[in-house]
């Protein structure tokens, strides 16, 4: 029997869609929500479910940025056949995204028992939410915000892509938060940092979702709640992406920093009083 009902899948789909690309940690919010609903956060089927519904959010990115993705993939394909095309930024960028995905895949496979075991604790989530907010606050103030998307290079992409490992190991740190903060420290403006975070998340999160699919189904997750959660995640994530790009064009990350601290503090309080179990 599945550990997650259809109604719970709707709630988790909304949480995933809202938080996947905002720098507030989707994994952390999903674990908190699961804990509040009495769902065992370390259950194999639950871990698989949360990974699979991320594919809905990734589908939203693919849909929202479809023109950019077609342009980049087309440039990559032309470059494979024509040496002259290899000087174009889009061709290089496609390879950079591939290179930058290798570290997180390697760490994800090697540290899977640790990630799904001790590091899945809500205590880790609470601490990571607060620690990540400090990193984000510093990055937003230290960054020069002068470099655009066309100014990115291999070094930028590798460093930003590698920072995803922080969120992989410490749920609550936030993949988006880690990548955006790193990009800001490298001098990118907020919109460029946000778009780079989106593009780097596509292969990593899609791969994780597909990898976990067989485990989720094998562990007893019913296909109906899985499908519902994924569809809800897609719809909500699409709206969230559109909102975030407009927001960062005119605002700092202060609102996210404050929100993360409040949620992390509240989570510590709930865990300390026994109102919520880790």
Map 23-76 to HEC letters.
CCCHHHHHHHHHHHCCCCCCCHHHHHHHHHCHHHHHHHHHHHCHHHHHHHHHHH
pLDDT surpassing 60 at residue 1: no
Q: pLDDT by residue (tens digit) across 250-264?
A: 999 999 999 999 999
Task: Give CA torsion, residues 173, 56, 75, 82, to 10 deg.
Answer: 100
The stretch 136-143 carries a mean pLDDT of: 95
The stretch 81-90 carries a mean pLDDT of: 93
What percentage of the chain exceeds 90 in pLDDT? Answer: 68
pLDDT surpassing 60 at residue 22: yes
Distance of CA 156 to the CA centre of its chain: 18
Average pLDDT, the chain: 91
Q: What does the block give as tokens for 39?
A: 């769902």
Q: What is the structure's pLDDT at 59?
A: 93
The stretch 80-90 carries a mean pLDDT of: 93
pTM for this model (two decimals)? 0.89
CA dist 155 and 205 (Å) reads 21
The stretch 57-71 carries a mean pLDDT of: 94
Most confident of 42-56, 78-92, 210-224: 78-92
Q: What does the block give as tokens for 198?
A: 């989106």
Q: pLDDT by residue (tens digit) across 187-198?
A: 999 999 999 999
């Amino acid at each position: 029997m599945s550990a997650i009902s259809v109604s719970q899948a709707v709630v988790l789909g909304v949480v995933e869609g809202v938080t996947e690309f905002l720098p507030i940690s989707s994994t952390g919010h999903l674990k908190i929500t699961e804990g509040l609903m009495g769902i065992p956060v370390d259950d194999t089927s639950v871990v698989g479910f949360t990974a699979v519904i991320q594919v809905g959010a990734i589908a939203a990115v693919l849909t929202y940025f479809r023109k950019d993705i077609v342009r980049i993939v087309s440039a990559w394909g032309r470059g494979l056949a024509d040496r002259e095309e290899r000087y174009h930024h889009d061709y290089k960028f496609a390879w950079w995204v591939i290179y930058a995905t290798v570290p997180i895949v390697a760490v994800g496979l090697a540290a899977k028992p640790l990630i799904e075991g001790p590091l899945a604790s809500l205590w880790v989530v609470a601490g990571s939410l607060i620690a990540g907010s400090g990193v984000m606050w510093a990055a937003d103030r230290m960054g020069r915000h002068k470099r655009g998307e066309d100014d990115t290079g291999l070094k930028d992409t590798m460093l930003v892509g590698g920072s995803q490992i922080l969120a992989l190991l410490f749920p609550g740190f936030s993949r988006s938060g880690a990548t955006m903060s790193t990009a800001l420290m490298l001098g990118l403006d907020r919109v460029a940092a946000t778009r780079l975070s989106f593009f780097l998340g596509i292969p990593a999160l899609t791969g994780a979702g597909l990898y976990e699919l067989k485990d989720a189904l094998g562990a007893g997750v019913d296909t109906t709640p899985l499908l519902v959660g994924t569809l809800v995640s897609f719809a909500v994530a699409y709206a969230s992406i559109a909102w975030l790009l407009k927001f960062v064009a005119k605002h700092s990350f202060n609102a996210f920093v404050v929100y993360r601290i409040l949620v992390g503090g509240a989570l510590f309080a709930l865990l300390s009083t026994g109102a919520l179990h880790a």
